[in-house]
Amino acid sequence: MCPRSLYARLAFVLAAGMLSGGIQAASESLPAIHADASGGGVELGIKEYTEVTRHRPVDKSVTRLGKKESSKSTTDHSKLKELQGPFHSGPEVTEACLKCHNKAGDQFIRNKHWTWSFHNPKTGQQLGKRYLVNNFCTNAAGNEGMCAQCHAGFGLKDSRTYDFSNQKNIDCLVCHDSTGTYYKLPPTRGNKACAVLFEGKPAIDWTRVAQSVALPGRNNCGACHFYGGGGDNVKHGDLSSALFKPSRDVDVHMGEDGENFACVICHVGEGHQWAGSRYAPIAKDTQGKAKPGLPRQTATCESCHGDQPHGDLGLMGIKLNDHTDRVACPTCHVPSFARGGVATKVEWDWRTAGRTRNGVGYREEGYVQGNGESRHTYKSIKGSFKYAENVVPEYRWFNGTEIYTTVHTKFDPSKPVEINHLEGSGDDPGSRIWPFKRMVTYQPYDKGNNTLVYMHLWGDDKDAFWGNYDFARAIAHGMKDFDLPYSGEYGFVKTYSYWPILHMVAPKEEALACRECHAREGRLKNLAGMYMPGRDHNVWVDRIGLLAVVLTLLGVLGHGALRILLARRRKAS
Amino acid sequence: MSLHKVKVFTRFERFWHWTQALLIFTLLFSGAGIHGYHQLMNFESMVWTHVIAAIALIILWIFAIFWHLTTGNWRHYLPTTDGLFAVARYYAYGIFQGEEHPYRKRYWHKHNPLQAASYLALKTLLFPLLWFTGLAYLSYGFWSQGPLTSDALYWVAVVHTGAAFAMAVFIVIHIYLLTTGHSFREHVRPMLTGYDEVDLTEAEEAYLRQDEPGRILD
């Protein structure tokens, strides 16, 4: 263990000990239990997190348009005398980086990867990982010791006290390492049960990684973003480890046999600010392509493809282009998500969390995903899960505005609570039909105040849920840490969160056929606020119309039959 | 007045009629598919077929309207009550008694009064209703940028479908009435050959023999 993290751990243990009124936590701390190979059995930490930032198959993706796979950089970083090291820690490397890139630090500390904070000017809501409650592991606030494994900085253990102006703590390497050997660990060690996360890690060769910096490949961004929510593809549904080295039928843009784009081709960035916000997305891009030679700093499909993208299909293209004002591109072009063999979590039930066997947590495996790997369907630290692959999205009107249920929002617990309510309707010209993954969770809430709660999950103390399995203490601790009102009584509320689906764009020949939506029982069966040919009809026009045709048929048949009958009678007489 | 075999349907009229018939059946078939009544073709092919057939029909009608106006053939469709009752009485009663059809085609009235009235309604009401709603439907992309989009499209669609049902009713009756004369074949033949029995005045007969001998056969 390096001295830095030992010190950190000691400080944390002491702090936790003081909070709990004694130092008995310290005496319970270290005995490590070893992981079983099967993946089932006792709970030995959070196996899924061991892959975060660690599993990084290096890709040779296109990071700049108009150039061959690797850009012809004018600088070979391995030859720079400033990078000869030797380096022994991240901040040392960062200091060297910032000596030449002397504006990068100031740029970087303003972006969300660092601030974990976003103030939405449209809704006035304070968003960002530092504040929000989601319906996966719920809150990063107070659990930074674990969650900040994916903070693009060093040593974020408590966002209330962290110095967000200290540029030396920027982690340049997590995004710029091109060797695939750099990794991050949780800033604190948490409960003894989580020891497995820290075991068997090779030492980082700081000098080597410092000399191998490059523009971020998929493995850099994916190291965290493919593991959001606590594991491979748990959160987004359309961002999984299948995108490290995908084929073009999984993602036509990132496919190694396709465009082989890195994330930054679409999420264009200048000065360490990237396009493509999930908090304030552009639901309808009416600007389209920029003038030739003038790139647009947005991540919308339209910024490359234009808002009339089906032109090469002739007259059929005109009809398809008719759709773009009301239907977002991924609605047709992402036929299903969680493709490529990696499942996504679709249901999470915290109510079952905390069961133990012989006093220790355990886990169960119950799902084998497309690529053959098995996933846990129960974990004492988190509860029960359901997974799905090749999922047909939910479709909703969306105008880009999301109203979040934050830890301060009062709600009616008798109905499912929308973590992020999507604004938009068919009557709103700024809305389009978008595909979403809907996450369904039963999670703790404050029964007295009808609000969501912060849980104290991570820590080496007697309150941390991960290790002690006691909701009452974990919630009380989590709320107290942030001076939030807590009635002292918790229950479980059903929550939904919506994740826009726009990665895993399929090749055009796999785009949805018209009938997928233009049908009575199609994908948009339940979407109100519009008339859609093939799905909608006025019941009475149809009934009266059909009745008129049938009656006319019967009428002429009767008329004809009577003529024949009477003609025969006349003949006979 | 005397009965003669006269060419009543010119080549253009016959072309117009049969092309129109084909297009209308195509439109009804594809329209029913788009509306969700059958899935005999995929949706895009049905939309495609529907649009092409509709545009073809409208082009045909641009020619037909020009033809009606320049040749004076619009006069055949002038509504009249003269003989209307007799024809109505025939379909309701006389036909069952084995009576002869009371109407004889005349040179400027090749349709019986009931027929002329229903064709007039078809041409001036039903067809325009279908075209205008159809064109509005087709051009949806050009006017869809308003807040009333969904409602407007709904009404366009409702009127279009309603008119299509009326069209289907017309076709059923139209085809059935072909069986009411001497025979079905005899009724269809004029629209194939162009010739039918017409009650000509002496002046009309003289004119035809003098100026258009090809139009009169006997």
Residue B35 to residue A570, Cβ atoms within 8 A: no
Contacts of A489 (CB under 8 A, 6+ apart): A446, A447, A448
Average pLDDT, 10 consecutive residues per value, chain A (573 residues): 45 42 35 43 65 84 70 83 93 96 95 95 95 96 95 95 96 95 92 81 93 94 94 96 96 94 91 89 88 79 91 85 92 97 98 90 91 93 96 97 97 97 92 97 97 96 92 97 96 98 96 94 92 92 96 95 92 86
Task: Tell me the backbone φ, ψ of residue A491, rounded to 5 degrees.
Answer: -135, -165
Q: 3-state DSSP call for residue A438?
A: strand
In the chain, the amino acid numbered A315 is L
Query: How far is residue A163's CA from residue A165's CA, in Å, rounded to a whole number?
Result: 5
DSSP designation for A153:
B
pLDDT of residue A71: 55
Cβ atoms of A130 and A55 within 8 Å: the answer is: no
Q: Which pLDDT score is estimated for A228? A: 93
Residue B3 is given by DSSP the state: E
pTM of the model: 0.87
Burial class (CB in 10 A: 0-12, 13-18, 19+), A372: exposed
- The whole-angstrom separation of Cα B95 and Cα A567 is 9
pLDDT score recorded for residue A331: 97
Q: Which of B42, B153, B173 lies closest to A515 in CB terms?
A: B42
In the prediction, which pLDDT does A5 show? 47
In CATH, which superfamily holds the domain spanning B2-215? Transmembrane di-heme cytochromes, Chain C (1.20.950.20)
- Cβ-based contacts under 8 A for chains A and B: 110
The pLDDT of residue A15: 43
**For B161, which residue in chain A has the nearest alpha carbon?**
A541
Range of weakest confidence among A236-240, B69-73, B116-120, B177-181? B177-181
Task: Output the pLDDT for position A44.
Answer: 57
pLDDT in tens, A305-316: 998 999 888 888
CA distance B92 to chain A (A): 9
Residues B30 and B50 sit within 8 Å (Cβ to Cβ): yes
Structural contact between residues B167 and B24, judged by C-beta atoms closer than 8 angstroms: yes
Q: Write out the two tokens for A282.
A: 């552009």
Which tokens is A186 given? Answer: 């949780």
- The percentage of chain A sitting over the pLDDT mark of 70, rounded to a whole number, equals 90
**Per-domain boundaries in chain A:** 3-71+81-284+325-516, 539-573
Judging by beta carbons within 10 Å of its beta carbon (0-12, 13-18, 19+), is residue A397 exposed, middle or buried?
Answer: buried
Q: How far apart are CA A280 and CA A267, in angstroms?
A: 14
Provide the b/e sequence for B177-205 (b: ≥16 CB within 10 Å): beebeeeeeebeebbeebbbebbbeeebb
- Tell me which residue in B42, B144, B169 faces A325 most closely, judged by beta carbons: B144
Please tell me the distance from the alpha carbon of residue A419 to that of residue A521, in angstroms, as a whole number.
29
The confidence band for B176, taking pLDDT boundaries of 50, 70 and 90, is: very high
CA atoms within 13 A on the CB side of A201: 22
Sequence spans of domains, chain B: 2-215
More confident residue, B157 or A53: B157
pLDDT at A103: 95
Distance CA B63, CA B71 (A): 12
Q: Does A519 touch chain B (CB under 8 A)?
A: yes
Q: Does B148 score more than 60 pLDDT?
A: no
Q: Do A321 and B39 touch (CB under 8 A)?
A: no
ipTM for this prediction: 0.91
DSSP secondary structure code for residue B124 in this structure: I
Per residue in A78-107, pLDDT (tens digit) is 999 999 989 999 999 999 999 999 999 999
Average pLDDT of the residues in B114-140: 93
Q: Which of A428, A429, A548 sits opposite B165 (nearest CB)?
A: A548
- Which ranges of B72-148 does DSSP label H, i.e. alpha helix? 84-92, 113-121, 127-138, 140-143
Q: Which long-range contacts (CB under 8 A, 24 or more apart) does A1-4 make?
A: A1/A198, A2/A89, A4/A89, A4/A155
Using DSSP bridges, classify how beta strands A490-500 and A417-418 pair: parallel, antiparallel or unpaired. parallel
Within 8 A of B165 by CB-CB distance, chain A residues are 541, 544-546, 548-549
Which residue, B173, B5, B56, B139, is CA-closest to A560? B173
Contact A315 B97 (CB under 8 A): no
